[in-house]
Amino acid sequence: MKHLLKMLDLTSEEVVDILNLADQLKYEQKHGIPHKLLEGKSLGLIFEKASTRTRVSFEVGMYQLGGQPIFLSSKDMQIGRGEPVQDTARVLSRYLDGIMIRTFEQAEVEALAEYGSIPIINGLTDFCHPCQILADLMTIREYKGKLDGLKMCFIGDGNNMMNSLIVGALKTGMSISVACPEGYEPHKDVLDFAKEYGEKFSMFRTPQEAVVDADVVITDVWASMGQEGEAEKRKKAFAGYQVNAELMALAKPDAMVQHCLPAHRGEEITEDVFEAHADEIFEEAENRLHAQKAVMVRCLSDK
């Protein structure tokens, strides 16, 4: 695997391979078995948006793999003053062994990969969040013992999370149903991809229809980073799209809940549902570390 730009680029086999390696790295870390697979390698971490989990899990993960992470806030970089991404890519390719980038436009991530000569890992764009989805799939497989044949349900905005979960679920044999208000649908490229999977993908206007018999229920904030100015308008649009106890009663009795975090309790999810599923949600957060270590190994080493 050269880059991780979006879930659409991965084959089903590559997804499963990353999940298997992530499980192995998690086991080794828990048992004190060192795995310095990236000794001597440096990974730049460019952030044009805020982050808690992505930054810390990439920095710690790179350290545990024997490599060097370098945090690069766009506020302090020339890219933040208008240096073209094409030039930044060609310069950083001469110092680093890989780049993780969190930014707004997917096109910027694709341009880094096109103009640079080192692996690029997408740490979230407005279009997708592949590192998060790999951690989600890892967590679901850990709790349920499999992915194939399960039903995932996503309630809320057709944002980076919904876009990536649709692709990740379908590529791993799951079916997925989503519920979103009019005007907040997933990206067209994702809908085109999902069409190939027939009835395994369904989109509803009401969460009550989407959640029936779900094995895992997932939601995310109503206003993503960069959409803060639309928060009030979005609160109105998503008013009926809360994951609460009444909605969960329509899912399978043993349904799990996932949330990429940060969560807005009382908006997309109630406090009681969040706390009842806190173990699964924080395992998901932990699995960012293990899944990303697997991605870094696959992108930055020949192993």
Residue ranges that bind ligand NVA, judged by CB under 6 A: 124, 159-161, 220-221, 224-225, 260
| Catalytic annotation present for 132 | yes
Among 11, 12, 52, 206, binds ligand CP (CB under 6 A): 52
Q: Is 260 a residue that touches ligand CP (CB under 6 A)? A: yes
Nearest by Cα to 64 from 22, 29, 27: 29
163 vs 270, which CB is nearer to ligand NVA?
163
Burial (CB count <10 Å: 0-12, 13-18, 19+), residue 33: exposed
Contact partner, 20, from ligand NVA, ligand CP, none, Cβ < 5-8 Å per class: none
- Mark whether 187 is an active-site residue: no
Could you confirm whether 129 is annotated as catalytic? yes
Catalytic annotation present for 53: no
The active-site residue, picked from 220, 234, 277, 299, is 220
Least distance from ligand CP to the Cβ atom of residue 75, Å: 16
- Which of ligand CP, ligand NVA, none lies near 270, with the C-beta cut-off 5 to 8 A by kind? none
Name the residue nearer to ligand NVA (CB basis): 42 or 163. 163
| Residue 261 within binding range of ligand CP, rule CB under 6 A | yes
* Least distance (Å) between residue 118 CB and ligand CP: 22
Q: How far is the CB of 215 from ligand NVA (least distance, A)?
A: 22
Q: Which residue is nearest to ligand CP (CB)?
A: 54
Residue nearest ligand NVA (C-beta atom): 224
224 binds, among ligand NVA, ligand CP, none (CB under 5 to 8 A by kind): ligand NVA
> Which residue among 53, 55, 129, 234 is the active-site one?
129
Respond yes or no: is residue 258 known to be catalytic: no
Q: Which of 42, 54, 125, 219 binds ligand CP (CB under 6 A)?
A: 54
* φ/ψ (deg, to 5) at 2: -80, -50
**Three-class secondary structure assignment of the chain:** CCCECCHHHCCHHHHHHHHHHHHHHHHHHHCCCCCCCCCCCEEEEEECCCCCHHHHHHHHHHHHCCCEEEEEEHHHCHHHHCCCHHHHHHHHCCCCCEEEEECCCHHHHHHHHHHCCCCEEECCCCCCCHHHHHHHHHHHHHHHCCCCCCEEEEECCCCHHHHHHHHHHHHCCCEEEEECCCCCCCCHHHHHHHHCCHHHEEEECCHHHHCCCCCEEEECCCCCCCCHHHHHHHHHHCCCCCECHHHHCCCCCCCEEEECCCCCECCCECHHHHHHCHHHHHHHHHHHHHHHHHHHHHHHCCC
What is the nearest approach in angstroms of ligand NVA to the Cβ of residue 133? 11
Q: Which does 52 bind (CB under 5 to 8 A by kind): ligand CP, ligand NVA, none?
A: ligand CP
- Say whether 157 is catalytic: no
Residue 134's CB is within 10 A of a number of other CB atoms, namely 26
Residues annotated as part of the active site: 102, 129, 132, 220, 260, 288
Which residues in this chain contact ligand CP in the complex, by CB under 6 A?
Answer: 51-54, 124, 132, 260-261
